[in-house]
Amino acid sequence: MPASDPVAAPDGAEPVPDGLEFVLRHLRSRKPEYGDLDPDFDLIENRVLDSLGFVEFLYLLEEHTGQEISIDAVSREDFRTIRRIRERFFR
């Protein structure tokens, strides 16, 4: 999948939920030097998500998914890539 279409489903058939698009804009704004983020780009390893921005990001996800997210109910892996974020929070 080309990096220029970072939010399409692997087969390109599913539209991007509005909340996910907002989340993607937020992530891109944190590290604009990475440009468009590939769905499998490691957000943690590349410090797009770090400990300082994680709580802010969690609140953003809650706001745009409409669900409360308990820190005890998630793991680092849920936030590692855009694909994982989509699977975990936007399905």
What are the chain's domains?
18-89 (1.10.1200.10)
84 within 8 A of 48, measured Cβ to Cβ: no
14 within 8 A of 76, measured Cβ to Cβ: no
Two tokens, residue 22: 């907002």
Residue that has been written with the tokens 């590692």 in this structure: 80
Give how far Cα 71 sits from Cα of 9, 28, 32, 41, 79, Å: 26, 23, 27, 23, 12
Tell me the pLDDT of the chain (91 aa) as tens digits: 334 444 444 445 456 667 888 889 999 999 999 999 999 999 999 999 998 889 899 999 999 899 999 989 999 999 999 999 999 998 8
d(CA 45, CA 43) in angstroms, rounded, equals: 6
